[in-house]
Amino acid sequence: MAWGDLLGYGGRIAEAQFNPLDARAKSSIKRMRDFHRIVAEHSNRNFRTLVINDGVAVFRDLSLRSSSVSHDFLMRSWELFEAINQHEARASQPGIRMVVACGFRIRGRKAVIETDHGKVNSILKRYQDGFLTVDQAIREASTARPSFDAVPQLQANFAFTKAYVAESSGTGGGFAGPNFFLDTSLLKKTDTEWPVGGKAFDWEHNTLGLKSEFMRIEHLSPEKYTNEASSRLKTGLEVAQTLAGDNDVLEALRRARKN
């Protein structure tokens, strides 16, 4: 899970008194639109994103048996971070801070919103009754929006909680400037040459009881995943074992699902 936030955005909008018609807000609005465009360009079915104003959440479930997904997600997150900050630098903007964190999430059932089925049924009925052409029906269906929406992968997602709270702690929490921070729970070792980064540091949020070890990544070469033996990143199972402090974490999760 990754969370990134544009630095200084709120302050700039506040200067314009949160009025988009104020001339001082124009650069911030353009900045946000450019940010959304870059995120969209880097998003795909294996790298799903959700933008919320000046922030972006990126999510993917790790593979229990292979670290290839870990590699792919980390590299894509770094590439997104670099693309945004390069654009920000050209526009003389403060940049983005991004935090990649590991954590469990609770899987839930996909909600069925009956009220939204009525919209589809209405389109079908009007088409069958001859009030809509095929082209009109398709266009109306393509622009229909649900009255309720949620991203299931972000509900009860404790990696999201950790990444968001850690990034929000800012310089006081050890997360200074437009930098990229990685939860070392994803790494097999923190004293290797890849990824290149600063010294690992402990972070803790006393009120929420959240804590983890992070390191600031200074450079992440485009190293390709080859095999498990050479991998410097953990599989999803190894991450789960680290987080739970239990090598039999899968059995513990199975028991929890039955209760």
pLDDT tens, 225-234? 667 777 889 9
Q: Is the pLDDT of residue 169 over 80?
A: yes
Residue 134 vs residues 119, 123, 129: alpha-carbon distances, Å: 16, 10, 12
| CA gap 254, 259 in Å, rounded | 9
pLDDT band per the 50, 70, 90 thresholds, residue 144: confident
Domains of the chain: 2-110+150-258 (3.30.70.1230)
Based on its alpha-carbon atoms, the radius of gyration of the chain, rounded to whole angstroms, reads 22
Task: Quote the pLDDT of residue 52.
Answer: 95
**183 or 155, higher pLDDT:** 183
d(CA 173, CA 204): 8
pLDDT for 253 equals: 66
Of 66-70, 120-124, 163-167, 215-219, the least confident: 120-124
What's the pTM value of the predicted model, to 2 decimals?
A: 0.85
Higher pLDDT, 163 or 137: 163
Mean pLDDT of 149-177: 93
Which residues touch 196 (CB under 8 Å, ≥6 apart)?
Answer: 217, 218, 219, 220, 221
Percent of the chain with pLDDT over 70: 91
Segment 17-46 mean pLDDT: 94
Q: Give 24 or 166, the one with higher predicted confidence.
A: 166
So what's the pLDDT on residue 59?
A: 96
Name the more confident of 255 and 17.
Answer: 17
Average pLDDT score over residue span 189-200? 86
What pLDDT, on the 0 to 100 scale, is given for residue 245? 87
Q: Which residue has the higher pLDDT, 133 or 228?
A: 133
Express as a percent the part of the chain with pLDDT over 90. Answer: 61
Supply the mean pLDDT for the chain: 89
Q: Is the pLDDT of residue 114 over 70?
A: no
Asked if residue 115 has pLDDT above 60, the reply is no
